[in-house]
Amino acid sequence: MLLPTSTFLYFRRVAFADTDAMGVLHHAQYLIYFEEARVAWLRDLVLSEHHFPKANMVLGVLETHCRHFLPARFEDLVTVAVQARREGLKSPSICHVPGPHRE
* Alpha carbons 6 and 12: distance in angstroms, whole number: 20
Active site residue 20: yes
Assign 3-state DSSP to the chain and report helix, strand, coil percentages, each to 5. Answer: 20, 25, 50
Among 18, 20, 44, 76, the active-site one is 20
Count Cβ atoms within 10 A of the Cβ of residue 10 and give its class: 0-12 exposed, 13-18 middle, 19 or more buried: buried
Bridge partners for 79 per DSSP: 11, 99
Supply the residues annotated as catalytic.
20
